[in-house]
Amino acid sequence: MKVLVLGGDGFCGWPCAVNLADAGHDVVVVDNLSRRKIDIDLEVESLTPITSISERLRAWEQVGGKAMRFVHLDIAHEYDRLLELLRSERPDSVVHFAEQRAAPYSMKSSATKRYTVDNNVNGTHNLLAAIVESGLDVHIVHLGTMGVYGYGSHRGATIPEGYLTVEVPQADGSRFTEKILHPTDPGSVYHMTKTLDQLLFFYYNKNDAIRVTDLHQGIVWGTNTALTDRDPRLTNRFDYDGDYGTVLNRFLMQAAIGYPLTVHGTGGQTRAFIHIRDSVRCVQLALENPPTSGEKVKIFNQMTESHQVGQLAQKVADLTGAEIRYQANPRKEAIENDLIVDNRCFIELGLKPTTLDDGLLAEVVDVARRWADRCDRSRIPCLSAWTTRQAEALRTHA
């Protein structure tokens, strides 16, 4: 299968591209390297030393991997080049990772809010419009987020895979049932762009019969896969800073350097998680099981387990002896939430999840401790506040 991997230089995209090439697919990596530029602006680097994209691709071939090509392209702003790329490559599928993906970064300033909306919504829309204009039948696999469902109370209900069955009362007292897109409840500008993506897919699927699989992914933890472990030049990135670091990887790195684990608020927030190895496997499963022509958007909940943030910190503390420090919460969010998730689709397709209990210790020892001396402690605190009220709380509790 010919596959374009948009955002294929990123944390989820790079191991995914390598995995697809290893499975024999013809892979073209497309990226504008904006994530690397944001690191320069934020004056922070991945905890793991990552090589340039050309070095990565060279190393991959040198270890015997099937060659991949790279196209430097901004999908949000270079529409004509994107269309030309589709016409010349005629891909069977496009995996779309190419978005600004950090909620804290999206809330940092009006400039980063506007950048996130412009980049993410235009990028997704450009891809859909270009596929229609190309006349090709391309399957899009998009990386969305579990955050589209919201982290408020679901009153104990299980979150279905994208669609909710509702009963609609009629004036005459009768009722009919209908499957609708699950209502969205974004918790940041970043999450809002993902809910807008979802609507764009719904519309283009209805109007132009574009085939889409939208993966509502949980927070990804871990760093490498067996393939990116083959050579140090293939190493994946590990973000630990206050804007891009995700909660579990931050705890692991903090434990490795003897920094108290930073729990925001009460720690009662519940989130869904998935290991990078499983994320990569899910994308391959989604690609190899596409929707049929005329089928509505397929939505999978791409997560394997849910945990409360405070309990997660306790787990890491028990494993490593780290101290836990509760801090003011930079986010405007529910103090506590429930999150019961249906993830049957991937399990039925054969996913065998890597659980926290299997993988945590290896991650602390192999990655976080190994690169601990590359950590800049001044970049650990989360300083991007959701509103002026949260900003004030951060200042008073600093």
Ligand X SMILES: NC(=O)c1ccc[n+]([C@@H]2O[C@H](COP(=O)([O-])OP(=O)(O)OC[C@H]3O[C@@H](n4cnc5c(N)ncnc54)[C@H](O)[C@@H]3O)[C@@H](O)[C@H]2O)c1
Is 34 one of the binding residues for ligand X (CB under 6 A)? yes
Task: Report the residue from 45, 60, 85, 97 that binds ligand X according to the rule CB under 6 A.
Answer: 97
Active site residue 240: no
Residue closer to ligand X, measured from CB, 230 or 271: 271
Task: Report the residue from 46, 112, 116, 119 that binds ligand X according to the rule CB under 6 A.
Answer: 119
- Nearest distance in Å: CB 103, ligand X: 9
- Nearest distance in Å: CB 170, ligand X: 39
Q: Which stretch binds ligand X (CB under 6 A): 74-82, 203-211, 285-293, 346-354?
A: 74-82
Task: Report the residue from 59, 143, 287, 356 that binds ligand X according to the rule CB under 6 A.
Answer: 143
Residue closer to ligand X, measured from CB, 122 or 326: 122
Active site residue 79: no
Residue of closest CB approach to ligand X: 10
Is 128 one of the binding residues for ligand X (CB under 6 A)? no
- Nearest distance in Å: CB 291, ligand X: 20
Active site residue 194: yes
Is 31 one of the binding residues for ligand X (CB under 6 A)? yes
Is 330 one of the binding residues for ligand X (CB under 6 A)? no
How many Å is the Cα radius of gyration of the chain? 21
Residues with a known catalytic role:
145, 190, 194
Q: Which residues contribute to the site for ligand X (CB under 6 A)?
A: 7, 9-13, 31-35, 74-76, 97-99, 101, 119, 123, 143, 145, 217, 219-220, 246
